[in-house]
Structure 1
Amino acid sequence: MELLVDFLTRFVTQFQTPALAFLVGGMALAAFGSKLEIPDAIYKFAVFMLLMRIGINGGMEIREANLMEMLLPAVFSAVLGCGIVFLGRITLANLPGVKVEDGIATAGLFGAVSASTLAAAMVILEEEGVVYEAWVPALYPFMDIPALVLAIVLANIYLNRKKDGANTRVKIWPIITESLRGSALSALLLGLALGLLTRPDRVFEGFYDPLFRGLLSVLMLIMGMEAYTRLNELRKVAHWYVVYGVAAPLVHGLMAFGLGYIAHLVTGFSPGGVILLAVLAGSSSDISGPPTLRAAIPTANPSSYIGSSTSIGTPVAIAVGIPLYIALGQAVFGF
């Protein structure tokens, strides 16, 4: 009962945090037909800055960290990315009215990671005073790449079998390289490399870090406007996508919380790290995933996988998931 009360308190309070407030504000503007437009160049710049800040900070911390402590969380991240896709393949992709390739693509997007959700969770944890290892955001590619690769492989195997009635080899390496070339992962990996191999402390403290929260609020505003716009597209596909968009982020996040707790017992993984791992798993890709899936699974309907992710999955992951995992962390770890 105490956990429920704490969650409800945090859920209400969450609407006062800048991240969610700007997300809801963007949805409200779109609902009232506002003509406000934020140029795509600003959106891309905000995403780049956020990921560079996360990457540089993570790289600097990895430089000082015990890599063995990262090993188990990194393995769990890859397991979660793949597990989420497999779970979507045997559930969503087999439901009435859902095309198999659409269901797999949706599962791939939910197995991948949302940079905006991750950034929002980091800010909220810092405001709550919850400590986490600064290298935890570097788990992003360990979950993101396996999920996208597996979704593309499963979809192509299904489509090839449907077309030819036989197994056809799917080349995995081109999929991996295409994922790595995506704008989100490229920025994050560049930041990691710079933080790990150089001494970017001054530019980090004087430029990237001070702008982080302001740019996150702009990104949340854009995400809110797009989320409402995508609702119209979601009405054109099976209602199961709405159910999946609501349930999947929470189920995936709780799975990750359980694995994170195991890592906590084995390696001393921090409570904040466990919460961030749950946030990573509960998020769905909003930057690198959609263009990757559009190119690799052209027969899949973007209205299904992008609509369920952007209009349902992301708001649920931020508004419900983050306060849920923090409340659960408080109940389990007593911080």
Structure 2
Amino acid sequence: MSLDLVLQNILNPPILFFFLGMLAVFLKSDLTIPQPLPKLFSLYLLIAIGLHGGYELSKSGLSFDVLKALGLAVFMAILVPIYSYFILKTKLDTYNSVAIASTFGSISAVTFITGITYLQTINIEYGGYMVAAMTLMESPAIVIGLVFAAIFTKESSDEKTKWNEILKEAFLNPSVFLLMGALIIGMSTGQKGWHSMEPLFGTLFKGFLAFFLLDMGLVSARKIYELKKAGLFLIGFALIMPVVNASIAIALASFFGLSKGDAFLLALLSGSASYIAVPAAMRLSVPQANPGLYLPLSLAVTFPFNITLGIPLYYYIINTFWS
């Protein structure tokens, strides 16, 4: 992998703000972002990417290529938590295996957004329908985790109300709901709608991303101190599995003829891990699992790895194959 690709990704203002946040924690600075603001940044990024994706989807329509990309996304979202569970089960109990497998089977919207920014920086086109792919990939891992917990612990998730709450969390959690809603609005309003919203959700996008990644740097660095609970096996899992998952996605994307930009985003989504939707669902549905394992692994290991080294690595592999 070329050093230029790594530097091109890292020497990007939003990424540097992520490191600035981590540095603030390591140097024991009092830097903080008032708590309501990170939520606002999250909402902004989800709306912005959903609107733009809907606009792009309104131009492309639901062609065979679009359906092919969406089908591969769903396939990866189902496959990853299944084999991740059986790998983890060799070292962990069922509850923690389910929670960690579900975490790594789902996706990180911020990693996806950072990947899109990278593609824009190097002028590589991608399909707006990949936003829909991201939305479809968030929930299957939660459902699979619940099924595995019910089967392999031999304990029935007997309370109907509990299942209702869990499935609601899987399919109607705020990020999925907002992304899908923004996507539909972008599709419905098309070019005229996007141009009317572009000054806020297009021009200012990188500025809001920098604020958000600054906060993520602060949070990630604080979670690093919890990694001593995880052990070398889990830290290795959090570093190796993203590359394995992304490589499988790249192979499938190559076989099915996805474009370079779409293949990169599919690989990045497959190699990412959830730190919002799945942890919330696991706390509700698998309280026996230790949040001190699955949350730091995704937030303090996999997320920093992906947005610094993973992005240029996946692009290098794709660029080599597609060339």
TM-score, structure 2 as length reference: 0.92
**Aligned runs of 1:255-266 on 2, under 5 Å?**
255-264=248-257
Question: How far did residue 154 of structure 1 move?
Answer: 1.1
Q: Deviations over 1:280-303 (max 9, x none)?
A: 111111232221221121111111
CA distance in structure 2 between the partners assigned to 1:332 and 1:299 by the alignment: 43
Note if contact 1:81-1:147 (Cα within 8 Å) is conserved in structure 2.
Answer: yes
Runs (5+) with no aligned partner, structure 2: none
Partner of 1:80: 76
Note if contact 2:166-2:284 (Cα within 8 Å) is conserved in structure 1.
Answer: no
Q: Is residue 270 of structure 2 the alignment partner of residue 281 of structure 1?
A: yes
Q: Is residue 135 of structure 2 the alignment partner of residue 141 of structure 1?
A: yes
Question: How far did residue 169 of structure 1 move?
Answer: 6.9
**Aligned runs of 1:111-122 on 2, under 5 Å?**
111-122=105-116
For these two proteins, the number of residue pairs brought into alignment is 318
Partner of 1:181: 172
Amino acid at match of 1:234: L
Among 11, 19, 24, the alignment partner of 1:16 is: 11
Partner-residue secondary structure (3-state), 2:229: coil
Amino acid at match of 2:80: I
Among 308, 317, 323, the alignment partner of 2:306 is: 317
Amino acid at match of 2:42: V
Moved more, 79-88 or 14-23: 14-23
CA distance in structure 2 between the partners assigned to 1:139 and 1:289 by the alignment: 17
Moved more, 12-21 or 226-235: 12-21
CA distance in structure 1 between the partners assigned to 2:14 and 2:86 by the alignment: 34
Partner of 2:147: 153
RMSD of aligned alpha carbons: 1.9
Note if contact 1:153-1:170 (Cα within 8 Å) is conserved in structure 2.
Answer: no
CA distance 1:170–1:19, shift in 2 (3 Å):
farther
Among 46, 60, 82, the alignment partner of 2:55 is: 60
Identity of aligned residues (%): 26
Q: Is residue 289 of structure 2 the alignment partner of residue 300 of structure 1?
A: yes
Note if contact 1:283-1:317 (Cα within 8 Å) is conserved in structure 2.
Answer: yes
Partner-residue secondary structure (3-state), 1:239: helix
Q: Deviations over 1:200-222 (max 9, x none)?
A: 22342121112211111111111
Q: Deviations over 1:66-121 (max 9, x none)?
A: 412221211111111111111111101221xx232112211111111111111111
CA distance 1:259–1:49, shift in 2 (3 Å):
same
CA distance in structure 2 between the partners assigned to 1:291 and 1:320 by the alignment: 27
CA distance in structure 2 between the partners assigned to 1:83 and 1:169 by the alignment: 26
Question: How far did residue 170 of structure 1 move?
Answer: 8.9
Among 44, 50, 57, the alignment partner of 1:49 is: 44
Amino acid at match of 2:65: E
Partner of 1:130: 124
Moved more, 47-56 or 18-27: 18-27
**Aligned runs of 1:90-129 on 2, under 5 Å?**
90-95=86-91, 98-129=92-123
Among 199, 213, 237, the alignment partner of 1:206 is: 199
CA distance in structure 1 between the partners assigned to 2:197 and 2:177 by the alignment: 18
Question: How far did residue 315 of structure 1 move?
Answer: 0.8
CA distance in structure 2 between the partners assigned to 1:169 and 1:257 by the alignment: 40
Amino acid at match of 2:236: V
CA distance in structure 1 between the partners assigned to 2:100 and 2:280 by the alignment: 13
Runs (5+) with no aligned partner, structure 1: none
Note if contact 2:112-2:269 (Cα within 8 Å) is conserved in structure 1.
Answer: yes
Partner-residue secondary structure (3-state), 1:132: coil
